Chains A and B, each alone.
Chain A
Amino acid sequence: MSMAVGTIMQIAGIGFLVAVLHTVLKSAGKEEFAHWTTLTGLIIALLLIVSKLNLLFTEITSVFRIQ
């Protein structure tokens, strides 16, 4: 269970980082950099979640004995 909280905190950390970076870069005038960092943050979070989702789906197929 503690591993679960860890992943949530990781994603939240990415979210905060991206949000702060976005505002900082925007105020520094580098607009497109801000958008790039937001995009990469989102992609990293998505990759993390896709691996968890894959874990869940393989477990479901094993528990419910779907071929």
Chain B
Amino acid sequence: MDILQIVGLALIATFLVLTLKWQSPTIAFLISMLTGVLIFAFLLSPIKLIFAEIEKLAGAANVDLKFLGTILKIIAIAYIAEFAAQIVRDSGEAGLAAKIEFAGKIFILVLAIPIVKVVIDTIMRVLS
């Protein structure tokens, strides 16, 4: 089962990080980053599957695909920002991690503006 592989990989990596922690902390940080990269790369294929399903459902419910594209981008930004922020916070730079998350939020807001505009337009049309 895939989850066992991921858990095994993470436990081995934590063991290696701890053994190398006091000798060379930078290599320990690199190992933890590499494990993060590998686990996220491993998770991409299920995510691709989920998006294919969502797209099919959206097609059936004839939702405008442009919004689906924006939602996809928003999820991607959240996904990457979370990935980087956790690694940076792990290495002790909490301030930097907060900045990364803040930047992620700003980019998501920028992407969300058109959707909010459409929602408001439809409400106005319904009310007037």
Residue ranges of A at the interface with B (Cβ–Cβ < 8 Å): 1, 4-5, 7-9, 11-12, 14-16, 18-19, 22, 38, 41-42, 45-46, 48-49, 52-53, 55-56, 59-60, 63-66
Contact = CB atoms under 8 A, between A and B. Distances in A.
B69 to A, nearest CB: 7
30 contacts: A8-B12, A8-B34, A11-B27, A11-B30, A11-B31, A12-B16, A12-B19, A12-B27, A15-B16, A15-B20, A15-B28, A18-B27, A19-B23, A41-B24, A42-B24, A42-B30, A45-B30, A46-B30, A49-B34, A52-B41, A55-B41, A56-B40, A56-B41, A59-B44, A60-B79, A60-B80, A63-B48, A65-B69, A65-B72, A66-B73
Interface of B: 5, 9, 12-13, 16, 19-20, 23-24, 26-28, 30-31, 33-35, 37-38, 40-42, 44, 47-48, 51, 69, 72-73, 75-76, 79-80
Contacts of B76: 60, 63-64, 66
